[in-house]
A and B are shown apart, each in its own frame.
Chain A
Amino acid sequence: MHLAYPAVLSALLFCTGLYGVLARRNAILVLMSVELMLNAVNLNLVAFDVWLSKAAEETLHSGQALTLFTIAIAAAEIGIGLAIVLAVYRNRGTSAIDRLRDTAEPHGPDNDGPEGTDGSEDTVTADEKAEATA
């Protein structure tokens, strides 16, 4: 089999995941997209491992070992990631990552932005939080 097939598929999946990370609003969907990217890498690792174990008679199987590690780490990552998302959701009442903008720079003196929106957000947050804990 041509190495180009898994490599191209991996690149496509990676970029799909990339798109998801950049375009999705819900944090959990972002996490899914991260999983896609990780899997694209895994596919690459496996494909190259298979190729090298035959072509270069490499016996360490480092690609496959790394794939296993990646899978384990991905599992850990998803656990931690979800815990973070849950904590944020509990505190803020939302898991939309484009609404978590506390690091935004205020826009000069004419600015009414972050403080104002923060205020309204806080009220929303309070409502939703009450809802969430009910």
Chain B
Amino acid sequence: MTLSTAMATAAHTMTSTAHTTTAAADTPGFLSPTGVEIAFLLVGLVTFGAAIVTVTTRQLVHAALWLVATLGGLAVEYLLLTAEFIAWVQVLIYVGSVVVLLLFGLMLTKAPIGRSPDADSGNRWAALTVAVASAAALIWVVVDAFRTTWIDLDGAAAGSTEVTGKALFQNWVLPFEALSVLLLAALVGAIVLSRKAKADAAATSASRPGGRSEKEGAR
């Protein structure tokens, strides 16, 4: 198929000229998966399944909990890809704070406990169509382009804390600082948005600091 070659060429051009050692010729096939691959596949299935349940369940709190499973599964995938620092950050921030924030949000908006029949809007079938279509398009392209590309996971971990730290504080220190400003702005914005009118400001302020401290932790 011409598409595959085109995309492969594009990918190779993108990945610069130093690409010499891993030629397409000695790439292992899909029919003899390695152990890492099998593990990745299984965890990926679980993650995907959890994601599916997250977006389809009628119980809102369950959705949040299934999201934890999805994010946790992703953390495992990061580990399998030897990006260990990212994996732990994923666990800390997503599982630890984001999901907790979401649960707070659910509670504050008086989300019903148990099955709610109207969890999905009338747009569901259109959404399904679009999602399936884009999934088909994406997978087609991605598989076509990268089915012969091989990740060499041997040797030093690509994402150990040391490596990541060095990269972050040598090359990315300025964006990192800029990000801290962005987080501050987000903090202020969240306070401003969630402030009630003066009269009932005191009544609801008690529930807010938890979320905020979580965010601070994330940073």
Contacts and interface: CB of A to CB of B under 8 A. Distances in A.
The answer on A and B forming one complex is yes
Interface of A: 1-9, 11-29, 31-33, 35-36, 39, 42-43, 46-47, 49-57, 59-62, 64-65, 67-69, 71-80, 82-87, 89-90, 95-98, 132-133
B193 A16 contact: no
Given A8-B143, A15-B138, A54 B55 contact: no
Interface residues of B, number: 105
B10 interface: no
Contacts of B41: 5
A56 B168 CA distance: 19
Contacts of B22: 55
Contacts of B78: 43, 46
A82 B101 contact: yes
A43 B74 contact: yes
Contacts of B124: 23
A75 B124 CA distance: 27
Nearest to B171: A60
A108 B118 CA distance: 30
Interface of B: 15-16, 18-19, 21-22, 28, 30, 34, 36-37, 40-41, 44, 47-48, 51-52, 54-55, 60, 63-64, 67, 70-71, 74, 77-78, 80-83, 85-86, 89-90, 93-94, 97-98, 101-102, 104-106, 108-111, 118-124, 126-128, 130-132, 134-135, 138-139, 142-143, 146-147, 149-153, 155, 158-159, 163-164, 167-168, 171-172, 175-176, 179, 182-183, 186-187, 189-191, 193-194, 196, 200, 203, 211-212, 215, 218-219
A132 B105 contact: no
A35 B83 contact: no
A62 B15 CA distance: 13
B97 A75 contact: yes
Given A29-B119, A86-B194, 12 more contacts: A11-B138, A11-B139, A16-B48, A23-B123, A28-B105, A35-B98, A46-B83, A64-B164, A73-B179, A79-B101, A79-B215, A89-B109
30 contacts: A1-B80, A2-B146, A3-B146, A4-B146, A6-B44, A6-B77, A13-B70, A15-B134, A16-B48, A16-B51, A19-B55, A19-B130, A24-B119, A24-B120, A25-B120, A25-B121, A31-B102, A46-B78, A49-B158, A50-B83, A51-B151, A54-B152, A65-B171, A67-B86, A71-B90, A79-B186, A86-B105, A87-B194, A96-B118, A133-B200
